[in-house]
Amino acid sequence: MNEAAGERMVFRLANAPDLPRLVEMLADDALGATRERYETPLPHGYHDAFETITRDPNNELLVAESDGLVVGMLQLTYLPSLTYQGRWRAMVEGVRVAREARSGGVGRQLLEHALERARRRDCNMVQLTTDKARPDALKFYEALGFVASHEGMKLSLP
């Protein structure tokens, strides 16, 4: 999916009608299928989270749209920090590209758009995590210049 094929990529903030498509993309892989619930109607938790995220000026749900269809998404969160002399950083989460649009440059363009937004907010760093079960995602992020400079850890809470 690219302009050469006659399709125009648009990047914008997500809006409420996008929510089912976002959940569909989150659920459409081996890991997402075990933790997401793409069903009609969507569980209320998705609506609540969407409202909270979109009202928060330090959170953005970005979508990539091609010919009127949402084909990519990510969440960009801006974090204040005392480190680096009080500079802000951005965190990328929930990167997904629709199955039919994968390997077409959508993810790269969407991440580049997010990086530009972080620059405009004067962030000195963009960070993300990727599941070790997704080696292709790790290669993708490294190709964009991300470096596995730290050991990330998570603790699931009951």
Specify the pLDDT at position 18.
Answer: 98
Return the structure tokens found at 107. 């993810």
- Please tell me the predicted confidence (pLDDT) of residue 92: 98
47 neighbors 53 (Cβ within 8 angstroms)? no
Taking the C-alpha atoms of residue 62 and residue 94, their distance in angstroms, rounded to an integer, is 10
Domain ranges within the chain, ordered by starting residue: 3-143
Chain segment 20-52, per-residue pLDDT in tens: 999 999 999 889 999 999 999 999 999 999 999
Residue 110: Cβ within 10 Å count: 23
CATH superfamily of 3-143: Gcn5-related N-acetyltransferase (GNAT) (3.40.630.30)
Q: Does the structure show a pLDDT above 50 at 6?
A: no
**Predicted confidence (pLDDT) per residue in 109-154, tens digit:** 999 999 999 999 999 999 999 999 889 999 999 999 999 999 888 8
Structure tokens at 29: 């892989």
pLDDT tens digits, residue range 68-86?
Answer: 999 999 999 999 999 999 9
Q: Do residues 18 and 11 lie in contact, with contact meaning Cβ atoms separated by under 8 Å?
A: no
Rounded CA-CA distance 48/147 in Å is 33
pLDDT at position 15 is: 97
